[in-house]
Amino acid sequence: MKEIRLLRPFLLLAASVIGFLAFFYPFVLPLLGVTSVPNGRSVEVPLLFAALATCALLLLLLLFQEQTVQRGQSRALALLAVLIAFDAALRLLPSLLGASPIFLLIIVTGYVFGSAYGFVMGAMTLALSAIITGGIGPWLPFQMLTAGWVGMTASWLPKWRGTAQRLALTLFGSVWGFLFGAIMNLWFWPFAAPGLSDTAGLYWHPGMSLSETLQTYWKFYLATSLVFDGTRALGNALLVFTLGPAIVNVMQRYRDRFIWQPWAAEEHQRTPQTDMPSEIVR
């Protein structure tokens, strides 16, 4: 079982490295002496989608095996499936300038259940919502990856309680409101103006230095994305601030009651046992 748990971070790292390379390889090719950069992402889109689907499936299999071997139960995956379906359906709600309610459950799931659950929650929510809304396109695997990163990094937050927890989750949701858009721009920005004269200085061209690339992207971001991402950040902050702690409490009670927790089992084994009357376990 320890070996099974060790595979989780390996798969998350593999998916993240593959995604990082997919986002940033156009900027690296000129540094390696490659003078011609591809005009689009026709090659890596199916490869990235296949890699993400494979990693998500393997993570699901590992999580299922862990729960089944230890307790003969798969309640965690059942809950995850319900959350993915419900969150994907929220995509049907009208959004306002980039604000969307789907990030609330992605953040909370990663925060409560850990990085593997959070990554699968984010990636599969975007995949299913794209099928429901007809939003399937070359951007989809990049959306899946970025949403997976939202859920994965939510598990890194300190497990505070009360006001500190509320503020930490709210700040996290607000920051990712900007980061999601800033990262997603990179799936098309290096190819946005191939061979065209960029009089506004908003687009990247091979041969730019790192400082020139960052300055150009900053101007592009201010001109095209800041308003939408600011609205998304505000929407995330409001939803997480008002609903986040309550949903966290519900999910934690479900986790503690129904889902095997290796850290709790190990702590129980280390705790000296005393002679106590037996109780009926319900």
Q: What are the tokens at 117?
A: 């659950």
**Residue 194's pLDDT band (boundaries 50, 70, 90)?**
low
**Position 32 pLDDT exceeds 70:** yes
Rg, C-alpha atoms of the chain: 21
Predicted pLDDT at 65: 72
Q: At the top level of CATH, which class does the domain 2-31+45-260 belong to?
A: mainly alpha
Q: Which residue intervals of the chain are DSSP H helices?
A: 2-28, 44-71, 75-90, 102-113, 115-133, 140-154, 162-184, 210-224, 226-258, 262-270
Helix (H) or strand (E) run with residue 277 in it? none
- Please report, for the chain, the start and end positions of each structural domain, with discontinuous segments joined by +: 2-31+45-260
Per residue in 243-268, pLDDT (tens digit) is 999 999 999 998 887 665 554 444 44
The model's pTM is 0.85
- The mean per-residue pLDDT over the stretch 30-40 comes to 68
Predicted pLDDT at 78: 84
Dist CA 220 CA 182 (whole Å): 10
**Chain mean pLDDT for the chain:** 83
**Position 225 pLDDT exceeds 80:** yes
- The mean per-residue pLDDT over the stretch 146-169 comes to 95
- The mean per-residue pLDDT over the stretch 209-215 comes to 90
More confident residue, 86 or 8: 86
**Burial letters 94-110, b for 16+ CB under 10 A, else e:** ebeebbbebbbbbbbbb
Dist CA 277 CA 70 (whole Å): 25
Q: How long, in residues, is the chain?
A: 282
Per residue in 39-78, pLDDT (tens digit) is 667 777 888 888 888 888 888 878 777 665 555 456 778 8
Using left for φ > 0, alpha for ψ between -120 and 50, and beta otherwise, residue 278 falls in beta
Instruction: Name the amino acid, one letter, at 120.
Output: V
